[in-house]
A and B are shown apart, each in its own frame.
Chain A
Amino acid sequence: MAMKKLLQSEWVSRLVDVLLPVFAALAALFVGAVMLLFLKVNPIEAYKALWDGAFGSSNAFAETLVKATPLLLVALGICISFRADVINIGGEGQMIVGAIFATWVGLTFTGLPGWLVITLAMLAGFAGGGIWGGIPGLLKAYFNVNEILSTVMMNAIAVQLMNFLLRGPLIDPAQAELASKIPQTARLLEAFQLPRLIPTRLHLGALIAVILAVLVYILLWRTTLGYRIRAVGQNPHASRYAGIKVQRHVVLALLLSGAFAGLAGATQVFGVNYRMITDGSASGFTGSAGFNGIVAALFGQLHPILSIPASILFGALLVGANKMQRVVQVPSALIIALNGLVVVFVVSSEVWRRRRQKRRLAAAGQDDESSPHAGGEKSQQAETDA
């Protein structure tokens, strides 16, 4: 009896809710293990390699965090826009434009002190991504243009803009003289590079991202602006009656979402590569962080703080999978499949979570008119209040 009571208590069921994605990820890894067995690879050995690659040494862990940084920054923006019920698929393009703005600052103001240029460049990245996200925001709010499509098209435009600039006006003077003409800009001055935190490749951007995660949490749940953004996402009609300017908040949500992605692009340039470089495709520069950040945000239940471990997990999968591929010689399609499995399992676990929630709300005698967003929101609110 006591046991049953414990299981039914609010606290336990909410704990289960929070842990559910973790179980889902473990289940995905289990299915992956079966696939490894079919390939006649020892799954324990393979996963050990994955673990070593991601967390085995301080260098490996630093690499994981370096990979997780842009994911987290993009995910923070996604938390804002998806909460406003605005689907921003344009992270890739926004990263690129943010990086272009930041790189231009870094290559132009060579006479200024390092800390000032870094600050200006980060702000420029924020602004660049914000512009690239704000345009689809305006189109959605005032012209009813579907934001999924417009953000995707903005991605395509950004890629061509990048290719044009990196092969033309912004090309590295050294490359311009060579026949190879790799699309990259000149290297940033040493003073302009984001400082490293420990003697690894881990840079200040990771710390900035974590601080921003807390700020986004405060924005969404402790300010009027955040309340309005969430209200618009849950029920635009009710929000309008409540006097919230819905269109303005839609634009703002997409603008902020893009701005965080733009910052992610800027930190990639100033913290990792020290120049903007591509292979002609979007992922050549972003490493698909603009897309993977969406997945990380969904994994983190669209909560800025939970997005931190979610981004680290996906960063670890990306870094560890490389090592696993080298050590146990599995085809890289398996790695892709493994990532896909994790996503599918996590997304499916959401169904169960929502069903539990519905039951709980029904049990509490509450009128359950809430949308999925509203439902997810409620549990997180309680969870963070606890």
Chain B
Amino acid sequence: MDTQTLIIGLAGVLFAAAPIVFAVLGETLSERAGVINLSMNGSIILSAMGGFAVAYKTDNIFLGFLTGMAIGAAVALIVAFASITLKQSQVAVGFVLTLVSRDLSYFLGNPFMGQPGPRLSSLSIPGLADIPFIGPLLFKHDLMTYFSFLFIFLAWAWIFRTRPGLMLQGIGERPAAAFVRGANVNRLRYFYTVLGGALIGLAGPTYSLSVKAGWNGTISGLDGIGWIALSITIFGGWNPLRAAFGAYLFALLQWLGLVLQPSLPGIPSQVLQVAPFPLMILTLLFVNIGNAEWVERTLAAMPEPTRRVTAKVLRALRASPPAALGVPFERD
């Protein structure tokens, strides 16, 4: 493989990862605030369908993206209402919404099946795009890919470098303490859940109007992406930078699967299709293994140099969820 193909391939990885980045960032914000939005798998599909349908009808691609965000925000609002106001199990509500919105999009999207629709055009950044290697890698994309780069750093800076971001960490870690410091915990949770939902909703049209342009119902290949994004969120340790790294890693693995397929003829196609899932389970395993009791015991029994290195590796991999994740806040 020469450099040219490699760069085009890697640029494709960045492009294909954009919707996953949006979804992962949205989920990270929501979970940082203490609300698990489990509806992701369904709301991505629904917003992909809705975004495509609106863009197709109005011939305005940006209305399509806005619709997707609105759908994601609306689904997140239901999650927020059920979990914050009604204090319902977030898992149950999110799960039901996943199924309902997925089925709904297959039904409502029926008239748009396989229609040729609008597609986001690519936008080279003049000047920067001509830099060798870096230009074609980073600066010959469409608008959404640029947004995905931008949002990663915005989300990171917001959470870790601003005062409201500190409050966001607070309502997810120790809502009672944040409340004493004057935070309106439940209102902020509503805000971040809906904002995160809008980002998740942006992932849908990024698929249907760009990465996998078009709407093909059950064979759109979108079912399952939400679950992958959910595990990447955990892999990312609720940190936008690490989460984005996870998204790119996943896209890279998928691309490698495609590239390697012709050179590995003996392997049935299902193996490569399914490979991301065991890989994600393995990643989750490595991220969490440091928290396991028996690992600590084993570590303690190891000879000193080995112990130190292993402990360091495990600590680097380890991610702990926000302490109040999934726990409703009550003021007493």
Residues of A within 8 A of B (CB): 87, 89, 139, 142-146, 148-150, 152-154, 156-157, 160-161, 163-164, 168, 281, 288, 291, 294-295, 298, 331-333, 336-337, 339-340, 343-344, 347-348, 350-351, 372
Question: Distance (Å) between the CB of A336 and the closest chain B CB?
Answer: 5
Q: Are A144 and B288 in contact (CB under 8 A)?
A: yes
Q: Are B227 and A152 in contact (CB under 8 A)?
A: yes
Complex interface: chain A residues within 8 A of B273 (CB): 160
Q: Are B93 and A143 in contact (CB under 8 A)?
A: no
Residues of B within 8 A of A (CB): 38, 82, 86-89, 91-93, 95-96, 99-100, 103-104, 107-108, 218, 223-224, 227, 230-231, 234, 268, 270-271, 273-274, 277-278, 280-281, 284-285, 288-289, 291-292, 294
Complex interface: chain B residues within 8 A of A340 (CB): 96, 100
CA distance A336 to B109 in the complex (A): 14
Q: Are B278 and A144 in contact (CB under 8 A)?
A: no
Q: Are A145 and B100 in contact (CB under 8 A)?
A: no
Complex interface: chain A residues within 8 A of B107 (CB): 331-333, 336
Q: Are A149 and B234 in contact (CB under 8 A)?
A: yes
Complex interface: chain A residues within 8 A of B291 (CB): 144
Question: Distance (Å) between the CB of B247 and the closest chain A CB?
Answer: 15
State whether A157 and B93 are in contact (beta carbons under 8 Å apart), knowing that A144-B288, A351-B87 are contacts in the complex: no
State whether A157 and B278 are in contact (beta carbons under 8 Å apart), knowing that A144-B289, A164-B268, A333-B108 are contacts in the complex: yes
Question: Distance (Å) between the CB of A182 and the closest chain B CB?
Answer: 16
Question: Distance (Å) between the CB of B324 and the closest chain A CB?
Answer: 15
Q: Are A146 and B285 in contact (CB under 8 A)?
A: no
Complex interface: chain B residues within 8 A of A372 (CB): 89
CA distance A98 to B227 in the complex (A): 23
CA distance A156 to B218 in the complex (A): 15
Q: Given A153-B280, A331-B107, A333-B107, 19 other A-B contacts at CB below 8 A?
A: A142-B292, A144-B291, A145-B288, A150-B281, A152-B227, A153-B277, A153-B278, A156-B277, A157-B277, A160-B270, A160-B273, A160-B274, A168-B268, A332-B107, A336-B103, A339-B100, A344-B96, A347-B88, A347-B89
- B86, B224, B274, B288 — which one has the most chain A CB atoms within 10 A of its CB? B274
**CB-based closest 3 A-B pairs:** A144-B288, A160-B274, A160-B270
Instruction: With CB as the reference atom, state the residue of chain B lying closest to A156.
Output: B277
Complex interface: chain B residues within 8 A of A89 (CB): 95
Q: Are A146 and B284 in contact (CB under 8 A)?
A: yes
Q: Are A148 and B96 in contact (CB under 8 A)?
A: no
CA distance A331 to B111 in the complex (A): 13
Complex interface: chain B residues within 8 A of A295 (CB): 96
Q: Are A294 and B268 in contact (CB under 8 A)?
A: no
CA distance A343 to B285 in the complex (A): 33
State whether A145 and B270 are in contact (beta carbons under 8 Å apart), knowing that A331-B107, A347-B96, A350-B88 are contacts in the complex: no
Question: Distance (Å) between the CB of A253 and the closest chain B CB?
Answer: 16
State whether A87 and B104 are in contact (beta carbons under 8 Å apart), knowing that A150-B284, A153-B281, A164-B268 are contacts in the complex: no
Question: Distance (Å) between the CB of B330 and the closest chain A CB?
Answer: 11
State whether A333 and B268 are in contact (beta carbons under 8 Å apart), knowing that A139-B285, A156-B274 are contacts in the complex: no
Identify B234's interface contact among A143, A146, A164, A281, CB under 8 A.
A146
CA distance A168 to B117 in the complex (A): 36
CA distance A336 to B104 in the complex (A): 7
CA distance A339 to B101 in the complex (A): 12
CA distance A86 to B86 in the complex (A): 22
- B91, B99, B278 — which one has the most chain A CB atoms within 10 A of its CB? B99
What are 28 A-to-B residue pairs whose CB atoms are below 8 Å?
A139-B284, A142-B294, A143-B285, A143-B288, A144-B292, A145-B288, A146-B284, A146-B288, A149-B231, A149-B280, A153-B227, A153-B278, A156-B277, A157-B274, A157-B278, A160-B274, A161-B274, A164-B270, A288-B99, A298-B92, A332-B107, A333-B107, A333-B108, A337-B104, A339-B100, A340-B96, A347-B82, A348-B88
Complex interface: chain A residues within 8 A of B271 (CB): 160, 164
- B230, B234, B284 — which one has the most chain A CB atoms within 10 A of its CB? B284
Identify B270's interface contact among A144, A163, A288, CB under 8 A.
A163
Identify A148's interface contact among B86, B91, B294, CB under 8 A.
B91
Instruction: With CB as the reference atom, state the residue of chain B lying closest to A294.
Output: B95
Identify B99's interface contact among A142, A157, A291, A331, CB under 8 A.
A291
CA distance A157 to B282 in the complex (A): 13
CA distance A230 to B130 in the complex (A): 64
- A87, A148, A291, A295 — which one has the most chain B CB atoms within 10 A of its CB? A148
Q: Are B274 and A143 in contact (CB under 8 A)?
A: no
Complex interface: chain A residues within 8 A of B292 (CB): 142-144
Question: Distance (Å) between the CB of A256 and the closest chain B CB?
Answer: 20
- A154, A156, A339, A340 — which one has the most chain B CB atoms within 10 A of its CB? A156
Complex interface: chain B residues within 8 A of A294 (CB): 95
Instruction: With CB as the reference atom, state the residue of chain A lying closest to B85.
Output: A351
CA distance A145 to B287 in the complex (A): 8
Complex interface: chain B residues within 8 A of A336 (CB): 100, 103-104, 107
Instruction: With CB as the reference atom, state the residue of chain A lying closest to B219.
Output: A280
Instruction: With CB as the reference atom, state the residue of chain B lying closest to A89.
Output: B95
- B100, B281, B288 — which one has the most chain A CB atoms within 10 A of its CB? B281
Instruction: With CB as the reference atom, state the residue of chain B lying closest to A139.
Output: B285
Complex interface: chain B residues within 8 A of A152 (CB): 227
CA distance A332 to B227 in the complex (A): 26
Q: Are A333 and B91 in contact (CB under 8 A)?
A: no
Complex interface: chain A residues within 8 A of B92 (CB): 298, 347
CA distance A288 to B100 in the complex (A): 12
Complex interface: chain B residues within 8 A of A154 (CB): 277, 281
Instruction: With CB as the reference atom, state the residue of chain B lying closest to A279.
Output: B218
Complex interface: chain A residues within 8 A of B96 (CB): 295, 340, 343-344, 347
Complex interface: chain A residues within 8 A of B103 (CB): 336
Identify B281's interface contact among A87, A145, A163, A347, CB under 8 A.
A145
CA distance A336 to B93 in the complex (A): 16
Instruction: With CB as the reference atom, state the residue of chain B lying closest to A148.
Output: B91
Complex interface: chain A residues within 8 A of B294 (CB): 142
Question: Distance (Å) between the CB of B103 and the closest chain A CB?
Answer: 5
Identify B91's interface contact among A87, A281, A348, CB under 8 A.
A87
CA distance A119 to B101 in the complex (A): 39
